[in-house]
Amino acid sequence: MEKPKILFVFNPRAGKAKIRNRLCDIIDVFVKAGYEVTVYPTQEEGDAIRAVRDKREDYDLLVCSGGDGTLDEVVSGMMKCRKQIPIGYIPAGSTNDFARSLGIPKDMVKAAEVIAAGHDYACDIGAMNEECFVYIAAFGLFTDVSYETSQDIKNILGHMAYILEGMKRLSSIKSYKLKVNYKYKEKGEGGMETGSSGRIYKEAELEDEFIFGMVTNSISVGGFKRITGKYVELDDGEFEVTLIRKPSNPLDINVIIGALLNRRINTDHMYCFKTPEIAFESEDEIPWTTDGEFGGNHKKVAITNKKQAVKIRIPEK
């Protein structure tokens, strides 16, 4: 009987290159579970996309290890394939927000055991101007920290790299004038939201000046849990949106940060809502980031939720 096959794609430099010390143990878990394993270490940006998209063999499971950027590439490659197969994720980056949201263990060998014995979860994926992202698209304050911080610095400082780099920017906060169009779910009688089978969406528009915006499908962002909302589902076909308005004075910044970290929505300073689709338009180009990587400079951005588009292997409940 032919053994099921795994394509194992990993970033050898992610997270202090710790996978190098665990690689044999990880492969051993898969082999003992009855899999035949093909190993593919990435060498440069875009390698994971090509490895998945151009795979020549008929694999049963795709496993990736690295940071959120590696997972982003693997998912992007999978979305370009005719045949969809489940994805197993072994987190090895600095923050690993998406793994936290799915309950995937930080320990690499335990994460491999989850892949071998867990179950498949159909998860939403985002598309920004037709390019896929896994859990976040964002602009504004601190969003360039992740992709402007070198891998070597990330490896040395870990999560503190983002904070240290971000602190340098507080004295020169930039704001962006935006027109935002989005869909929202209409509530039925008694204020109850319509069910998934009978959703009725209405359209809304707002214009304002923002210092930060994020469209997310994650419980954790930047290592902070619940910053995206209290009732987050990763398979409901909707994003959580947070848009922070330009503060009128320096004291407002502390109010905004406190509101975010404690998830006490301050309507004077921010907009927070759920949506399956959202579009941004500005007169000037705005730099965006997707899953911690540079997502390009854009005047127009259209983001849509691809409901339950990929299957991720997660722990049994």
Which domains are delineated in the chain? 5-124 (3.40.50.10330), 133-307 (2.60.200.40)
Report d(CA 113, CA 180) in Å as an integer.
43
61-66 and 87-91 strand pairing: parallel
- Decide if pLDDT at 28 tops 80: yes
Angle at CA of residue 154, ends 152 and 157, nearest 5°: 110
Strands (E), 2-129: 5-10, 36-41, 61-66, 87-91, 119-128
pLDDT surpassing 60 at residue 168: no
Global pTM reads 0.84
Q: What is the mean pLDDT of residues 183-188?
A: 76
Q: What is the pLDDT of residue 155?
A: 52
Residues 6+ apart with CB under 8 A from 138: 212, 213, 214, 215, 216, 288, 289, 290
Q: Are 225 and 262 in contact (CB under 8 A)?
A: no
Do the beta carbons of residue 209 and residue 244 sit within 8 Å?
A: no
Q: Could you tell me if 185 and 200 are in contact, meaning their C-beta atoms sit under 8 angstroms apart? A: yes
192-251: per-residue pLDDT in tens? 344 444 568 899 999 999 988 999 999 877 666 666 777 889 999 999 999 989 887 777
Name the 3-class secondary structure at 97: helix
Residues known to be catalytic? 293
Q: Mean pLDDT over residues 142-150, rounded?
A: 55
- Over residues 103-132, the mean pLDDT reads 94
For the stretch 29-41, pLDDT in tens is: 999 999 999 999 9
Q: How far apart are CA 314 and CA 102, in angstroms?
A: 7
Instruction: At 47, list the tokens.
Output: 């390698």
Please give the Cα distance from 223 to 272 (Å, whole number).
20
Confidence band, pLDDT 50/70/90 cuts, at residue 156: very low
Listed as own residue / partner, the contacts of 224-230 with beta carbons closer than 8 Å and 24 or more positions apart are 224/261, 225/100, 226/263, 227/260, 227/261, 227/263, 229/263, 229/272, 229/274, 230/263
CA distance 240 to 274: 5
